[in-house]
Structure 1
Amino acid sequence: MGASTPHGLAKESPRLAKRVSEIATCSRREADEWIENGWVSVDGEVITRLGARVNPKARIEIKDAADKHPSESVTILFNKPSHPVVAGSAGERDDAVALIRPDNLWAEDGTIFRFQARHLRGLALAGKLDADEGGLLVFTQEGSVARRLTGRDARLEKEYHVHIEGELSSAGLERLRHGLSLDKVKLLRAQVSWLNEQKLRFVLHESRKRQIQGMCEQVGLRVTEIKRVRIGSVSLGKLAVGQWRYLRADERF
């Protein structure tokens, strides 16, 4: 068991993980993993408690094992039902702790990963869905993946299958593809086509809040269900509703 953080430290004393990440030029997630594994000592004493604070002048040593240990950074795909998953006083939660558990890992996940608690640490949701929307959610520990999905210049295609009610003329279909605005901002050109008599396929290059609902309202349609099935080249495939899988090595955002 690691030694406790020294008593009497000022509240502003840095966390050990922050100091380790600065010294070793590693991520905070990696620093936490090294601390948990007992590879970090402070003034000669091993510290294994996450969240421990240290004196800024403390002597911090990191065992060689840390450099030799490959850190797994994971990205996870979750098929969200088209209704709130976890409801409560705070409303719906699209967070990893609520959704990613060993019991709902897709049985056909064929990756090399085996679920570990550290896969949830620093796992960020990249691209939300509204409470009444379902389909592909992406959680990632990789900052580069998060930036490609949610950054200011993110332009990855997002494909949605949309159940609608109402009549849509050929002119209305052309308006959905180009010429509409939301909140006085002109929308980018979209790909819109029929999947069947009650379902449309939307491919968008932007992510405006309730964009599809607003587009459909302007051409006299009512949306009854939205499902995101693809982001970039990564699709839901056969992933069951309410289950998740790891991003495969051959998949890239």
Structure 2
Amino acid sequence: MTTRLNKYIAETGFCSRREADRLIAARRVTVNGQPAGTGAVVGGDDQVQVDGQPLRLRSARAGKRKHVYIALNKPVGITCTTESSVKGNIVDFVGHQERIFPVGRLDKESEGLILLTSNGDIVNQILRAENRHEKEYLVAVNKPVTDEFLRGMARGVRVHGQMTLPCRVGKIAKFGFRITLTQGLNRQIRLMAAAFEYRVTQLRRVRIDNIKLGALKPGQWRNLSEQELRGLLPQQQEW
């Protein structure tokens, strides 16, 4: 059985199918030691490498799981929607062989960790506000970060007609800070910063509860481990 090369690369989690097309066009992909061309197909015994790094096809499901659970490093410009009519939608970007959808959202101009799954039953558990799942972000802004700004952000800001919950905020650079939220209001961090006349220039989510972005490069994804799933949803009995 053969598979299109770009689909094969995407299913290893190395990058999206679109990025795979770019790598192939740039002659950075080899099959059995030879540069691959656009439209190439591969079989189970073929050896695929990107920049000399061997790729291994991974199962869509870990063990005997009923569903898919993956962590993606979403690049800037990708929209967290399942609408196929939206150019750059996250489902087409990942190009997974299973029908998956994002858990929550990450703004188009933001990047970093987002979870996707084929299990609709767990989405409400993860997103339910009272469960207080932590989400950690690294943020760059257009003005020096001050103690007053950090205190104000930590106390809470009126966004969408309601006060945001208290949160943890810390300075990491002259123009950067780290913030940990237990809410997921639309464009929350950008609007909170704007209340103090700061403009967010870069925003990257690096953690959702016990799941960390780690070494995933933009566009790469990986299956969640059993330990990560148990930590995220300790009451769930079946995956």
Interval containing the TM-score (normalised by the shorter chain) = 0.5 to 0.7
Q: What residue in structure 2 maps to residue 147 of structure 1?
A: 124
Contact kept in structure 2, 1:192 and 1:203, CA below 8 Å: yes
Contact kept in structure 1, 2:71 and 2:221, CA below 8 Å: yes
Where 2:93 maps in the other structure, the secondary structure is helix
Q: What residue in structure 2 maps to residue 93 of structure 1?
A: 89
Q: TM-score, normalised by structure 2?
A: 0.63
The partner residue of 1:251 within 214, 228, 232 is 228
Q: TM-score, normalised by structure 1?
A: 0.59
Question: Does 2:55 match 1:73?
Answer: no
What is the distance in 2 between the residues matched to 1:239 and 1:146?
23
Where do 1:23-42 residues align within 5 Å? none
What is the distance in 1 between the residues matched to 2:147 and 2:85?
45
Question: Does 2:193 match 1:216?
Answer: yes
How many Å apart are 1:152 and its aligned residue? Answer: 4.9
Letter paired with 1:98:
F
Letter paired with 2:93:
A
Q: What residue in structure 2 maps to residue 83 of structure 1?
A: 77
Q: Percent of aligned positions with the same letter in both sequences?
A: 28
Q: What residue in structure 1 maps to residue 215 of structure 2?
A: 238
Contact kept in structure 2, 1:166 and 1:220, CA below 8 Å: no
Where 1:203 maps in the other structure, the secondary structure is strand
Contact kept in structure 2, 1:168 and 1:220, CA below 8 Å: no
Question: How many residue pairs get matched?
Answer: 165
Cα distance, 1:130–1:179 mapped onto 2, change above 3 Å: closer
How many Å apart are 1:162 and its aligned residue? Answer: 0.5
Cα distance, 1:100–1:230 mapped onto 2, change above 3 Å: farther
How many Å apart are 1:227 and its aligned residue? Answer: 0.6
Unaligned runs of 5+ in 2: 1-63, 233-239
Where do 1:95-110 residues align within 5 Å? 95=91, 97-101=92-96
The partner residue of 1:227 within 199, 204, 207 is 204
Q: Which has the larger radius of gyration?
A: 1
The partner residue of 1:133 within 110, 119, 122 is 110
> What's the C-alpha RMSD, in Å, of the aligned pairs?
2.3
Unaligned runs of 5+ in 1: 1-69, 102-116
How many Å apart are 1:150 and its aligned residue? Answer: 1.9
Q: What do residues 59-93 of structure 1 show as CA deviations (whole Å, max 9, x unaligned)?
A: xxxxxxxxxxx55322011101122379x962441
Contact kept in structure 2, 1:167 and 1:221, CA below 8 Å: no
Cα distance, 1:94–1:80 mapped onto 2, change above 3 Å: same
